[in-house]
Amino acid sequence: MDFFDAIKARRSIRKFTDAEVPNAVMQKAFDAAVLAPNSSNVQTWNFIWCKSLDVKNKLIMACLSQSAARTAKELVVVTADPALWRRSQPYLVDYVKSVSAPKQVIMYYEKLIPISYRWGFLNVMAPLKWLIANGVGLFRPMPRGPNTRGDLQEVAMKSAALACENFVLAISAQGFDTCMMEGFDECRVKNLLKLNSSERVVMVIGIGKAADSGTWGPQFRIPKKLVTKEM
């Protein structure tokens, strides 16, 4: 499917048919998700494919038993956790060294990433990072964050959302459909999947083949001129 056709074909489907989603379709979409742009390439996300019937049924309940979850043939939970920088850093350091990246790039991954992505117990490192960033910012342009755990979770969630977009467009390009759900009980989802305290649930994605009654009407957006600006 053409890229722009895939964008137009993607709809938030509220009801799916009983058609199975081939494993190859899911794997190709996961491959696309991994290629999404993300902050510093640390890839602080997880895509959890809930295949167990027991887990799936409990997840449906946590998603308020909405039809998009009940009728989906597959359910994927997307999480974001800034603490996952530790998982990625060794690979990134090895990579930048293997391609003879500039010294400042190697230093960024060896030294600055561990500082940037740590917040300390009760955000103890946040005030120091804030003082340094804003002090330097008095004399030249300087990123003023992220500093706290909440700031870093926000960065991780932005990156995860970009990966979600890649995933659902890859599903659409293969002739299947999705619903990106934010209507869920995050506490119950985290308990079900045994997530840690710094991990946030970004969304639950239902995947399947759209039923005839899967959407309420034609696609609608407010006028483009309201959301695009020129300065």
Which structural domain, as residue segments, surrounds residue 118? 85-149
- Asked, for residue 231, whether it belongs to a domain, the answer is no
Whole-Å CA distances, 185 to 35, 108, 201, 205 = 29, 37, 10, 14
pLDDT score at 201? 98
Q: Which of 105, 124, 149 is the last residue of a domain?
A: 149
Whether the pLDDT of residue 180 is over 90: the answer is yes
pLDDT (tens digit, 9 = 90+) per residue, 136-162? 999 999 999 999 999 999 999 999 999
pLDDT for position 91? 97
Contact 9, 171 (CB under 8 A): no
**pTM of the full predicted structure?**
0.94
Residue pLDDT, tens place only, 44-76: 999 999 999 999 999 999 999 999 999 999 999
In a domain, 1, yes or no: no
pLDDT tens track for 105-131? 999 999 999 999 999 999 999 999 999
The rounded distance, in Å, linking the Cα atoms of 168 and 11 is 9
Q: Tens digits of per-residue pLDDT, 201-230?
A: 999 999 999 999 999 899 999 999 999 999
Whether 3 maps to a domain, the answer reads no
Q: Are residues 178 and 74 in the same domain?
A: yes
d(CA 31, CA 50): 17
- Asked if the structure places residue 112 within a domain, the reply is yes
Of 96, 117, 149, the domain-final residue: 149
Domain limit, last residue, from 149, 169, 186: 149
Q: Assess whether 98 and 158 both reside in one domain.
A: no
pLDDT exceeds cutoff 90 at 37: yes
| pLDDT at residue 1, rounded to an integer | 82
CA angle 176, 74, 188 (to 5 degrees): 135
- The total number of structural domains in the chain stands at 2
Residues 74 and 125 in one domain: no
Nearest Cα to Cα of residue 19 among 169, 160, 177: 177
Residue percentage of the chain with pLDDT more than 90 = 98
Identify the CATH number of the domain in which residue 216 sits.
Answer: 3.40.109.10
Residue carrying structure tokens 């019937």:
53
| Domain match, 71 and 175 both | yes
Contact (Cβ atoms closer than 8 angstroms) between residue 91 and residue 113: no
Contact (CB, 8 A) for 156 and 81: yes
Query: Is 163:45 a contact under the CB 8 Å cutoff?
Result: yes
**Sign of the torsion formed by the C-alpha atoms of 145, 203, 45 and 35:** negative
